[in-house]
Amino acid sequence: MNKTLYISDLDGTLLNERAEVSENSVRIINDFISSGGFFSFATARTVVKAVPMTEKININVPVVLMNGVCIYDTVKKEYIKTEKIPDSAFEKMTDILKRFDLSGFLFTINDGILETWYENLDSEYAKKFYEERTRKFGKKFIKTESFSMCAGKNAVYFSVTDTKEKLDPVYGLLRNTEGLHIDYYRDVYSSDSWYMELSSSEASKYNAVMYLRSRYGFDKVTGFGDNLNDLPLFRACDETWAVSNAREEVKQAASGIIKSNAEDGVALKISDIKKAALICCGR
């Protein structure tokens, strides 16, 4: 029997419209895991929010964080793989961000510790990000005069949220930078804001899932997603499912369409696959 990994995006896919995993989804997925199934997730979020948001699920495979920047073992509570932004790409990135007066959040990982740096909280998006994480999760941020001063601190990820109009020219200048990978997509919770997330070109949901497949000996990977940053995830999977609320590009790339994130689409599909497998085996 094939050893299969089921791996889901979080926001807009496994999480409902309140950014939570419903009790029904928790029950179904935990039942699947307890019966011998393997489940993980791949998200743009960091360990600070992603792990608490999914703590009710008995996840039994390391998870993919920050769009593939790192792989984290939720049981051992440690990073097992990280990808650093190359120095030359980091220098170009910080120079262009400064030129366009964009100040988001820079993430570094040293000795297994994630640190988050910021220059200012002038934008409403940065202020909201900062306040939500300090208030709800007790996250600590480090202020710096300039991101360029963080050179040599093992920078792995940069995230900025703003309007598409303001981010477009920066994306245009950075998109072909050697050694740099960019995920650029609309916020699923707000039609007015867009995310631009920068990392090493070696960091992607594709590479991370391929690593999990190889290291843990999975014969098959089934993925679930909704947004553009899930397309690399899909390319690493044998079978893919887009929730009904997914972007059209994601639906077109998927093996099929399932119920929405508000209807426990991921969990119900896993349950259906499990039932079909039992019938096939005559159990």
Q: What is the pLDDT of residues 192-203, one digit of tens each?
A: 899 999 999 999
Q: Is the pLDDT of residue 279 over 80?
A: no
Looking at the fold, whether 27 and 42 belong to one and the same domain comes out as: yes
Last residue of a domain, one of 148, 174, 200: 200
Looking at the fold, whether 191 and 121 belong to one and the same domain comes out as: yes
Last residue of a domain, one of 174, 200, 226: 200
Q: What is the pLDDT of residues 19-74, one digit of tens each?
A: 999 999 999 999 999 999 999 999 999 998 899 999 999 999 999 999 999 999 99
What does the pLDDT read at residue 96?
96
| Full-model pTM | 0.84
Looking at the fold, whether 211 and 193 belong to one and the same domain comes out as: no
Looking at the fold, whether 93 and 157 belong to one and the same domain comes out as: yes
Residue 234 · residue 223 · CB < 8 Å: yes
DSSP letter string, 257-272 = EE--GGGTHHHHHHHH
Q: What is the pLDDT of residues 94-145, one digit of tens each?
A: 999 999 999 899 999 988 899 999 999 998 889 988 998 888 778 889 999 9
Residue span of the structural domain in which 209 resides: 4-82+204-280
Last residue of a domain, one of 200, 229, 254: 200
Q: Is the pLDDT of residue 249 over 70?
A: yes
Distance (Å, rounded) from C-alpha 283 to C-alpha 162? 52
Residue 236 · residue 223 · CB < 8 Å: yes
Looking at the fold, whether 192 and 236 belong to one and the same domain comes out as: no
What is the biggest distance separating any 2 CA atoms in the chain, rounded to whole angstroms?
65
Count up the domains in the chain and report the number: 2
Q: Is 118 exposed, middle or buried (CB count within 10 Å of its CB: 0-12, 13-18, 19+)? A: middle
